[in-house]
Chain A
């Protein structure tokens, strides 16, 4: 903990000192602030406001009707299903990967670390396309799946797979730097006191990483619910069956159903706001630890 607090205070000191050294003229400061605020208004606040404005443009009743359409409800259900399956799996994966990378020495470790980042660097459309190539009708396993009548592409399993792939770095990325910095002496101490491996993880490791873990889970969940590109490729856009909320927005919009599109969008926007608030809370919690 000591190692945590000391750099903190010294960082604050340097910030204070830098403010004196970096004291720009007033007009520079004000115009920089104005530009930053202008950008945020133009590209974030305005669109967000517009989503809500458009969703309610024909009154609250129309909004409610749009939200309770069978297709929209199906989209909400599918989105929740995808999140419920992918988030726990990726949490488990993230902890496992972070543990392996920070606690063991093995050949190919740096390669694995790079590989974890792959979904971030590949375009989501390509991620989706990989699954079509693997499990689609003409794909590698297409014939095999067809003989057993298993549908992956153009159905929920494909959407879940694509989402899993796209969201898997989030938890691991949060945990690896923290666990590297923590070292493993506390765990070694617990083991030397007779604790089992599981007990050590549960009562020593987990309490130390819980805030970072929650943060990773939160980001993972936001992406799982909001993913468009990869899901779009594997879903087939079947109304009421394989449309997730982001896809539902597009489908409604293409049908000139503005209220429907923006009603779905408002749910996603609400999710984004909730995520941001929780994210800020978690960051604050992590810093005060």
Chain B
């Protein structure tokens, strides 16, 4: 079911959490709301759910205006960062809750509830825990139960608030992939909130970048990574080196190839993998010195210091491990840089 948000604004006292948000989520997508803490992403999610009211604007789910409807009537599934399982109920009762509270004429029989709950627990692969209480489960298990509980009412939209935020790094990695696959199978329109760009890129089919209550950019993960529309998005998504032209020697910039026919602004953002490195024969034509390097698994990250007249920050470049070995660089060696691509901002 599609979600359309039009012109949504929300203030908390004098603090404007969201201004004039317009967003369209097509049916079946898995969308990430991504942004730094305090950017309004959770508020936006809670507004879609009906847990928070808007000051202005409307929420339209599947063509129906839901702005003034209560959370209990919206037909959404909500998964909380800290799971919010009912601690006095067993796993089974937690998942059955949404079915048991239905009005009498639409409430399924006990038989059907039982069948359905076990099917959902099978789906999250935790049926063997059905008679446990939430405090007997691990964080990852709790979050999967919370998801099963939300799915029990067959929501038209699934909303997840930092679903992996409270989990260990390794569990988080597994659950990300699992959520992506689950979404693929169920195909329910889903929105999840995260502050972790890696998570957003890995899980979502669409990423919405928020900052200070505004949408900065919306697009597929590769669109956002390859064509950031502004400096904030470029810096927030992945690593980037920032070159302010006023703070550098023109000659140095020309040597490394930043300034060319495509230069259109004052500030250039360069991804670490867009910096090519050659070993330099002499100090004369060297543009940087290797200060340090770190092992990131398949990649090596090199910390470089520019050889120009301005006192300056370090640059970061990345290259595959094999290439680094072939170059046989040592700390203190001088190198030549070639920048093959930069994003320009004003």
Contacts and interface: CB of A to CB of B under 8 A. Distances in A.
A binds B: yes
Interface of A: 1-2, 4-5, 185-186, 188-196, 199, 203-204, 207-208
25 contacts: A5-B135, A185-B80, A186-B85, A186-B86, A188-B80, A188-B84, A189-B78, A189-B85, A189-B149, A190-B101, A191-B70, A192-B51, A192-B71, A192-B76, A192-B150, A193-B98, A193-B101, A193-B150, A193-B153, A194-B73, A194-B153, A195-B98, A196-B101, A199-B101, A203-B97
Interface residues of B, number: 29
B49 interface: yes
Name the residue among A1, A186, A194, A207 with the largest chain B CB count within 10 angstroms: A194
A192 B78 contact: yes
Contact of B101 (A1, A2, A188, A194): A194
Interface string B75-95: 111101010111110000000
A195 B72 contact: yes
A194 B86 contact: no
Interface in B145-176: 146, 149-150, 152-153
A194 B98 contact: yes
B293 interface: no
B313 interface: no
Contacts of A203: 97, 101
Contacts of A5: 135
B180 interface: no
Given A185-B82, A188-B80, A195 B101 contact: yes
A192 B150 CA distance: 8
B135 A1 contact: yes
A194 B72 contact: yes
Given A1-B134, A1-B135, A199-B101, A192 B49 contact: yes
Given A192-B72, A193-B150, A194-B101, 12 more contacts: A1-B134, A185-B80, A188-B51, A192-B49, A192-B51, A192-B150, A193-B72, A194-B75, A194-B102, A195-B72, A203-B97, A204-B86
Name the residue among B73, B88, B153 with the largest chain A CB count within 10 angstroms: B88
Contacts of B84: 185-186, 188-189
B324 interface: no
A195 B97 contact: yes
Interface string B187-216: 000000000000000000000000000000
A211 to B, nearest CB: 11
A225 B134 CA distance: 40
A114 to B, nearest CB: 22
Nearest to B82: A185
Given A185-B80, A188-B51, A188-B80, A193 B135 contact: no
Name the residue among B49, B72, B75, B153 with the largest chain A CB count within 10 angstroms: B72
Contact of A193 (B82, B133, B149): B149
B58 to A, nearest CB: 20
A189 B70 CA distance: 13
B131 to A, nearest CB: 16
A160 B149 CA distance: 47
